[in-house]
Amino acid sequence: STMAAPAPTVAKSPPALVPPAGPTPGGTLPLSSIDKTAAVRVMVDFIQVFQSAPSSADDQVAAMRQGFARALVPYYPVAGRIAEPSPGEPLVDCTGEGVWFVEAAASCSLADVNGLEDRPLAIPKADLIPRPPADHKLEDQILLAQITKFSCGGYAVGICFSHLVFDGQGAAQFLTAVGEMARGLPEPSVKPIVEISLDSIKRVKDQVAAETAQRCSTFDVVTAIIFKCRAAAIGSAPDAEVRLGFAAGTRHLLGGSLPSPDGYYGNCVYPGGLARASKEVTEASLVEIVTAIREAKDALSARFLDWLGGGAKDSHYNVSLDYGTLVVTDWSHVGFNDVDYGFGEPTYVFTLNDDVNIVPSVVYLKPPKPKQGIRLVLQCVEEPHAAVFTQELEKLA
């Protein structure tokens, strides 16, 4: 009989601070009301997988460390810490301490763990994601990084960031700057994983165009597919309400409030969603569901601008967090797939917030290169409903 391969191990260096490469302003910065509303005080963990083997690994890690140090000068708040001098009023204390950086080496190649594509993970999450030293509170940190080198020369970069300070697009913007600095540029310019092919997405887009003379996004199509399949699978009473919750990026609506929305890296998302009777969703065509999602997005933009202009204070869309609700997060074009720390763009990026399973959720990812389409990380149905959900999805994917 063949011996089972030993479980892969990861040896980590103790976390070390990477401070800004030059002097930075001190003082405290209040969080915007969007930051405080949009984000509970959670840390977001994700991993970028890089298959390519750079020429000299040690130089690469040093360059990446230097990239963080240099990016922290313009992005100096990231080198600070979150403080809460009065309860419920967190702020950023610009201490300039820096970000925690962990170097690690895995005992196996990326191929040995199938590029980290499987669930459950072949290597425990704790081995791949950085955490501060024991005497520092995780929720006070703004960003931490870990680079794990595999025996094949590939890497996994684990990032943990505070959602109070960044949204996904903002964190990607900061990491893009880190990558540009690392490459020596002078300044910053569920358990089952399913794929929905570009063909299926295009087919629905064409139907929407034909029937409504409207264009729709990939997000609209994929969300409609999941919402419809899930409504069919969970077997709610026909008149029971099923809900969809999502946060839409609202950077493009900030033109009037910011000198330029391009450099803004705080939270710029606003909650939206829709609720319908279960029977309506299961019987509706995908085109009808896409239209409802588009209307919800338009309503969200209007509510956001109203709220920004000092209008309705309580106009946030509060979705009840229970099994009737599906929360969708789109990571497929946030920007984490385009970050190049000096060894090329990641072949695959995925989130690791499986432990935050208070509400059924779906995350949209770009599939590992060179595949096209959308890869879904689903954590959205209980075991008894999983088989029907998968069958429904396969009809449409």
* Full-model pTM: 0.57
Q: Same domain, yes or no, for 201 and 341?
A: yes
316, 340, 354, 385: the active-site residue: 340
Last residue of a domain, one of 121, 152, 182: 182
User: Does a structural domain hold residue 5?
Assistant: no
Predicted pLDDT of residue 81: 93
Counting beta carbons within 10 angstroms of the beta carbon of residue 114, is it exposed (0 to 12), middle (13 to 18) or buried (19 or more)? exposed
Structure confidence by residue, pLDDT tens digits, 319-374: 565 667 777 777 766 666 677 777 677 776 766 655 444 566 777 777 777 777 77
Number of domains into which the chain is organized: 2
More confident site: 370 or 232: 232
Q: How many CB atoms lie within 10 A of CB 317?
A: 18
Annotate 188-223 with b (16+ C-beta within 10 A) or e (fewer). bebeeebbbeeebbeebbebbeeeeeeebbbbbbbb
Q: Which residues pair with 159 in a beta bridge?
A: 46, 145
Counting beta carbons within 10 angstroms of the beta carbon of residue 183, is it exposed (0 to 12), middle (13 to 18) or buried (19 or more)? middle
163, 167, 220, 330: the active-site residue: 163
Q: Same domain, yes or no, for 59 and 128?
A: yes
User: Does a structural domain hold residue 4?
Assistant: no
9-18, 75-84, 146-155, 332-341: which is most confident: 9-18
262 assigned to active site: no
Q: Between helices 57-71 and 168-182, what is the axis angle to 10°?
A: 120
239 assigned to active site: no
Annotate 238-276 with b (16+ C-beta within 10 A) or e (fewer). eeeebbbbbbbbbbebbeeeeeeeeebbbbbbbbbbbbb
Strand 91-93 to 81-83 pairing:
antiparallel
Name the band, by pLDDT with cuts 50, 70 and 90, for residue 191: very low
Last residue of a domain, one of 137, 161, 182: 182
More confident site: 78 or 29: 78
Range of 175's domain? 10-17+24-182
Q: Same domain, yes or no, for 146 and 166?
A: yes
